[in-house]
Amino acid sequence: MDFEHRPVTMKILETTITLKENNGSDELMFKVSGSDNVAVTIELCFMDGGKLSGVTASEDLNSDYFLESGMGKYEFGDDFIEFGPGVVAHKNIRGLEGEKYSTHSGNLRTAGMHFYITGITPFEHKLIFS
């Protein structure tokens, strides 16, 4: 356990998120740089009871979805939002909810339908909502 002489592995990431309104649409620009080949996951959550289209369900069918390309749509009653374009560079979405609080039978995963965009650093992606 010679900690002083162990090799140190450290990954450093810098994340910049910019929001811009463009003719009635909102654009979120994600830029993640620093260490190369690090998996990046962007998670959005929509209220249960709505309908998602243009997305692909994850293999575990746990209200998790990917937008592999193009635009997706979420509808709830008479309201809707379109979002995209999508990108899926990996499907590593397990364990994102953080610490499990078994004593109180809880965790940090929010209720709802989860939608993921994934990439590998260096990563830059513009997500448009209209």
pLDDT digits (tens, 9 = 90+) for 53-69: 999 988 876 789 999 88
Any idea what DSSP says for residue 89?
S
Write the pLDDT tens digit of every residue in 89-115: 998 877 665 555 555 666 667 788 988
> Residue 12 in contact with residue 34, Cβ under 8 Å?
yes
Alpha carbons within 13 angstroms on the beta-carbon side of residue 10 total 4
The residue that leads in pLDDT, 47 or 95, is: 47
| pTM, full prediction | 0.79
> Residue 42 in contact with residue 93, Cβ under 8 Å?
no
Instruction: Return the bridge partners of 119, or none.
Output: 40
pLDDT band at 26 (very low <50, low <70, confident <90, very high): very high
Tell me the domain boundaries of the chain. Answer: 14-92+104-129
> Which of 16-25, 31-40, 53-62 has the weakest average pLDDT?
53-62
